[in-house]
Amino acid sequence: MYAQLVKTEGTKSLEEMTAEERAFQERIDRGEKIEPKEWMPEGYRKTLIRQIGQHAHSEIVGQLPEGNWITRAPTLERKAILLAKVQDEAGHGLYLYCAAETLGVSRDELMEKLHNGTMKYSSIFNYPTLNWADIGAVGWLVDGAAIMNQVPLQRTSFGPYSRAMIRICKEESFHQRQGYDIMMKMAAGTPEQKAMAQDALNRFWYPSLMMFGPSDKDSVHSTQSMAWKIKINTNDELRQKFVDQTVPQAEYLGLTIPDANLKWNEEKGGYDFSEPDWSEFFDVIAGNGPCNKERLGARVKAWEDGTWFREALVAHAEKAQARRMASKVAAE
């Protein structure tokens, strides 16, 4: 089974709900925000922890494919920009871990679940970044897909998640522009540079489409998550919007989307396009993508290498507290 099947109360009709559940659902339907100390169904809490936690993990694992290129960026300006972007991703992870903590889960618990493979992170970060054009493609396509998914999440029903998203989206749009800017330079460069840009698009196109999750018929959480406004759109709706937005951007670059079936459909007002290879997606989220072991290994190593530092922080805080207590007693 590829999903965690966080147990929810099911998607009940208003008549089937208890009075408490009904009042909760009515608040959601009115567009009210739910705050951490307020009553919420257990399934709502668990679904949020799953989604926000996985989102947080994606941000910090997502630092790895780009972090690898900071020292190899072609100019000092590109280095500074990439460094700022990668730092932003750490910040996004922190806002999201804080939002998850308000639901009663500790950051250590979330980390443990990432490290032991019981919580996921986005499939996209299990693909390698082989050259500088890939950094352009990540910013353009991966951040582009992230924004497409995250802009609606600013209206998500859980207050701390929604507020984190507002801030994150502002930064993500800078990230996407820096990626597109790299692609513009590469696509307008030498024939070799343009070929690198096309090759990066070829490799990142389908993995980017997979970021939106399985097709709606295979999405186990969408119905309940949308009823609770934890999710605002279905996976397929966002994928379609992403394709419609990205095709003209590729045309402007003079690059070709690697899909022979891509065609404007006047009737639906959007492009027809080929589905990604879903067996590859399920394989990647099961831990068998090209870089899963490397990415998780790097996170576990960072956690283990940081043990002495976390212990020192706790010891320092305890000493400072003891000193404060001693001087308070002495003053009395």
Q: Kindly list the residues in this chain that would bind ligand FAQ in the complex (CB under 6 A).
A: 2-4, 50-51, 54-55, 58-59, 62, 89, 120, 122-123, 142-143, 146, 149, 210-214, 219-222, 225, 231, 235, 285
Min dist. Cβ of residue 258 to ligand FAQ (A)? 19
| Nearest residue (CB) to ligand FAQ, 140 versus 273 | 140
The DSSP line for 174-204 is HHHHHHHHHHHHHHTS-HHHHHHHHHHHHHH
Q: Which two tokens stand for residue 242?
A: 């992403």
Min dist. Cβ of residue 212 to ligand FAQ (A)? 6
Min dist. Cβ of residue 39 to ligand FAQ (A)? 23
| Nearest residue (CB) to ligand FAQ, 39 versus 278 | 278
Min dist. Cβ of residue 272 to ligand FAQ (A)? 22
| Nearest residue (CB) to ligand FAQ, 198 versus 222 | 222
Closest residue by beta carbon to ligand FAQ: 62
Cα→Cα distances 141→36, 41, 126, 301, Å: 33, 36, 15, 29
DSSP secondary structure code for residue 33 in this structure: P
| Nearest residue (CB) to ligand FAQ, 115 versus 194 | 115
Alpha-carbon distance of 33 to 30, in angstroms, equals: 9
In sign, the C-alpha dihedral spanning 89, 94, 97, 102 is: negative
Nearest one of 145, 163, 143, 142 to 153, comparing CA atoms: 163
Sequence-distant (≥ 6) Cβ neighbours of residue 223 within 8 angstroms: 11
Q: Which two tokens stand for residue 144?
A: 């582009």
Min dist. Cβ of residue 266 to ligand FAQ (A)? 28
Min dist. Cβ of residue 234 to ligand FAQ (A)? 8
| Nearest residue (CB) to ligand FAQ, 231 versus 299 | 231
| Nearest residue (CB) to ligand FAQ, 181 versus 195 | 181
Nearest one of 245, 235, 176, 243 to 206, comparing CA atoms: 243
| Nearest residue (CB) to ligand FAQ, 178 versus 198 | 178
Min dist. Cβ of residue 115 to ligand FAQ (A)? 16
Residue 96's CB: how many other CB atoms inside 10 A? 26
